[in-house]
Structure 1
Amino acid sequence: MPIWCINPDCNESNSEEQRDCQTCKSSLVFEWGESYRIIWSNIGTKEKPWIAEKKLPDGVVISRVYEATNGTQTSILKVLYSTDQTYVRLFEREFGLLDRLNRERRESKKNNCSFPRVPEVPNHPDISGQVNFKLKRDITVRYLMMEKINGQNLTEWKESNNNTKVTEEQAIQWLKEILIILNKIHELNFVHRDIHPRNIIKTPNNELVLIDYGCVREILDNVDTQLTQVFSLGYTPNEQVRRKAVKQS
């Protein structure tokens, strides 16, 4: 199994026994309670072992999402390369919200109460959500680890079922499941801002899980035209695309 370097200027594969990249000398090991390494999954390609990436118009890489393993389980590793405070705040918010949702879920389980499934982040006293990792060329990146939700997103599920139409009963049931987690997010005074079929995973036990909290924002009482623009074609309301979103958007 090849182990990949996260240096955006390198991105070369290495053998499993290596602890440092043989090309750029950056570390290949991430200490997150346990040692994790980037793997080439069937989601990535041999040339691009990440699941997704965000770039600026000039081609500068802002962030990438990888799959990482500690040898027994696979997790999602999000890496932020940009030091722009706009992206740093979004990165910190994502962990902060997931951490709060995770704590509420654990508390609900203790009290035998139900709570919607959310991606888990490590519950470890010595680990914070934002861990700095220095690459060999003296760039410090931020990264966070979270649970990989197994299953298909709703777009993949539809395609694998020959684009069969969803029944009205099924659609209503799915909407109810998603509204439960959205209600929890709104109770914490946040909005998700990027809800579409690719961000909803259908697990093997038919449970729906909302993912990708990288665009969450605190709820504002007034219209804010300075919001970071976030939209998915076909799913984002027009006023949000025009950066004139209101709470109802």
Structure 2
Amino acid sequence: MIRPLRELVDLIPSEVFEVEDITGSYAIPPGRRVLKTLRTVDAKRVEMMEREVRALQMLNHPGIPKADLGDFFEFQPNSGFPLYCILMTKLEGQDLDKWIEENGRISQEKALDWLKQLFELLHEVHDCGFFHRDIKPSNILLKEDGTLALIDFGGVREVTDTYLAKLSGTGEPTGFDKEHEITIVRTPMFSPPEQVNGRAIPQSDFYAVGRTFVVLVTGLDLFDIPLDDDNKKLLWRKKAPHIDPPLADFLDKLMSLSPKQRPKTTGDILDQLNQLPKRIRWHRRVKSVPFRLSAILLTILVVVGLFQGGKIGLSRYFFRMAGESEGRNDLEAAKQNYKLAVQFDPGDYAAYNNLAAVCQLLKKYPCAIENYKKALQLKPNNEVVFYNIASIYDDAQDFTEARFYYQKSIEASQGKFVAAINNVARLDILDDQPRKAVKSISPALKKVENIRTKASLYKNLGWAYFQLEQYKKSVVNLEKSVEIEANEASTQCLLAKAKNQLNLPSKSNLQLCLFLSSELPEVWTWKQEFVDRLE
């Protein structure tokens, strides 16, 4: 043993030391290692340590500590209770908490670099079926080569074995009393609301990363940053004036109070991070003096009629600019360009429709509905526009208006728009009319062409049979849906519920139900039902 790596405190049940491993192992050579010991035989603490070593054995990344087979062991002193121990590789570097104290806040360029590095690490963690649950500056190291490392996996969680056994509904004992089924891991100001309530999910890590980077770009402790009137959201932007709005919006998205408002996966986040530098450049270009002067000049040219084709030509120009903005995933810029397109050509159906679609993606629903209705004035009885309006009301859970516009879509298509028929059937199921749903879905299956719509039809048919307590038919149709689209959370949740009714194995379906993201309100209800079994 060389030295303790943190102060020895009686209230903390574990101790961490730097040690010299003179023998090494098959995969890890001799050298400096970290030894973590547990000074308690509490079953939940031992279980957490076992999860930690499983994660460190499975993960294989230079920015994550590594443990080998045999690195979790029990040591019996001459007196007292046994010590549970983990041996892991020691990553050299300075934690970001201390780095900020010495260097102050980071630049926007460094923030983008570190965000990408950290989410690449987190992608490895989530891809192996784990999530960290304790991300904060002190648990991130800046190594000597300039790369980041993620440490302290003591709170790591997996949604596979133990967790699923608790949720599966099979009645299998877990070895713990119900009041001890959940181990809550939380750090004040960094843990999201669902984690504080003992219901952490993979997206909880995203919230913690967002708050970590607020600390890094402001150089301030979170307790020194004011909150909004509801004491929920950090008012941090004025403390980091060097951060452009696209990056600030991205961080606020990570810190959304509702998990379903955060990005769905680390893969989605990495895609967004790849686009952020372009969005920032575009934002700066729009705000620049030359750009504004060009806009003024362009306006003058239009007024005097010298721009190619006058207003129509200018409308086409802004329409193309909007398409390019969409390609960069800069939806705000796309929205502004589509607005200019319809301003110069009020008769452009496509511009109104695209503007509405962009507003819908931005969740600016009044803007979306207003422009879809303007598109309808130009092309009445357009089944796609009716469907799009219905989907907005559906998202807002205004099912009466949603049903009205879905029916308008079906009528406009003379009964041929299967996606609208399918969504009306879903509303019938939510309205406790499963027989009506079965009656409309069965003929729709015979004429559907779109493969994803077909998967959704089978899912809703399985759901209707589930409500009718015809569980075998439910499983048959849900499995047909899974054959087409396996990564649909609603189908996996329903299949887990139906199989439980038949006492069939459902662990894999439950795992996918909990891990896959969905914005359907019923899916969150089903997930909550599974999680509530822990209580």
TM over 0.5: yes
Whichever residue aligns with residue 134 of structure 1, its letter is Q
Whichever residue aligns with residue 216 of structure 1, its letter is V
Name which one, 1 or 2, has greater alpha-carbon Rg: 2
Task: Tell me the distance in 2 between the aligned counterparts of 1:146 and 1:171.
Answer: 29
Name which structure has the greater RCO, CA cutoff 8 Å, separation 6+: 1
Q: How does 1:91-102 map to 2 (within 5 A)?
A: 91-102=49-60
Task: Report the CA distance shift for 1:70/1:247 in structure 2 as closer, same or farther (over 3 A).
Answer: closer
Q: 1:130 aligns with which of 56, 72, 78?
A: 72
Q: Which residue of the partner structure matches residue 153 of structure 1?
A: 95
Task: Tell me the distance in 1 between the aligned counterparts of 2:67 and 2:194.
Answer: 33
Task: Tell me the distance in 2 between the aligned counterparts of 1:191 and 1:214.
Answer: 11
Q: Which residue of the partner structure matches residue 241 of structure 1?
A: 196
Task: Tell me the distance in 2 between the aligned counterparts of 1:247 and 1:144.
Answer: 24
Q: How does 1:1-249 map to 2 (within 5 A)?
A: 38-40=1-3, 49-51=4-6, 59=11, 62-70=13-21, 73-102=31-60, 105=61, 117-122=63-68, 128-161=70-103, 163=104, 165-219=105-159, 226-249=181-204
Task: Tell me the distance in 1 between the aligned counterparts of 2:71 and 2:16.
Answer: 15
Contact 2:72–2:85, Cα closer than 8 Å, also in 1: yes
Task: Tell me the distance in 1 between the aligned counterparts of 2:137 and 2:111.
Answer: 12
Task: Tell me the distance in 2 between the aligned counterparts of 1:75 and 1:168.
Answer: 34
Task: Tell me the distance in 2 between the aligned counterparts of 1:89 and 1:192.
Answer: 15
Q: Which residue of the partner structure matches residue 347 of structure 2?
A: none
Task: Tell me the distance in 2 between the aligned counterparts of 1:120 and 1:247.
Answer: 21
**Alignment partner of 2:19: what SS?**
strand
Greater helix fraction, Structure 1 or Structure 2: 2
Task: Tell me the distance in 2 between the aligned counterparts of 1:247 and 1:118.
Answer: 18
Whichever residue aligns with residue 182 of structure 1, its letter is L
Whichever residue aligns with residue 97 of structure 2, its letter is T
Contact 1:50–1:65, Cα closer than 8 Å, also in 2: yes
**Alignment partner of 1:98: what SS?**
helix
Contact 1:53–1:64, Cα closer than 8 Å, also in 2: yes
Offset of 1:237 from its aligned partner?
0.9
Whichever residue aligns with residue 118 of structure 1, its letter is I
Task: Tell me the distance in 2 between the aligned counterparts of 1:121 and 1:54.
Answer: 25
Task: Tell me the distance in 1 between the aligned counterparts of 2:42 and 2:113.
Answer: 40
**Alignment partner of 2:78: what SS?**
coil
Task: Tell me the distance in 1 between the aligned counterparts of 2:136 and 2:108.
Answer: 18
Offset of 1:247 from its aligned partner?
4.4
Contact 1:130–1:142, Cα closer than 8 Å, also in 2: yes
Q: After superposition, what is the alpha-carbon deviation per residue over 1:139-173, rounded to whole angstroms, capped at 9, x for unaligned?
A: 21111211111110111111122x2x211121111
Q: After superposition, what is the alpha-carbon deviation per residue over 1:59-97, rounded to whole angstroms, capped at 9, x for unaligned?
A: 4x5211111124784221100121111111110111111
Task: Tell me the distance in 1 between the aligned counterparts of 2:84 and 2:200.
Answer: 29
* TM-score of the superposed pair, with normalisation by structure 1: 0.65
Offset of 1:198 from its aligned partner?
0.4
Offset of 1:121 from its aligned partner?
2.3
Structure 1: unaligned runs, 5 residues or longer: 1-37, 41-48, 106-115
Task: Report the CA distance shift for 1:246/1:150 in structure 2 as closer, same or farther (over 3 A).
Answer: closer
Task: Report the CA distance shift for 1:181/1:52 in structure 2 as closer, same or farther (over 3 A).
Answer: farther
Offset of 1:229 from its aligned partner?
1.4
Q: After superposition, what is the alpha-carbon deviation per residue over 1:97-132, rounded to whole angstroms, capped at 9, x for unaligned?
A: 111113xx5xxxxxxxxxx5221224xxxx513211
Aligned pairs, how many? 181
Contact 1:52–1:66, Cα closer than 8 Å, also in 2: no
Structure 2: unaligned runs, 5 residues or longer: 23-29, 168-178, 205-535
Contact 2:131–2:201, Cα closer than 8 Å, also in 1: no
Offset of 1:248 from its aligned partner?
2.8
Q: Which residue of the partner structure matches residue 31 of structure 1?
A: none
Task: Tell me the distance in 2 between the aligned counterparts of 1:245 and 1:139.
Answer: 32
Contact 1:53–1:62, Cα closer than 8 Å, also in 2: no
Q: Which residue of the partner structure matches residue 34 of structure 1?
A: none
**Alignment partner of 2:87: what SS?**
strand
Task: Report the CA distance shift for 1:97/1:70 in structure 2 as closer, same or farther (over 3 A).
Answer: closer
Task: Tell me the distance in 1 between the aligned counterparts of 2:98 and 2:40.
Answer: 30
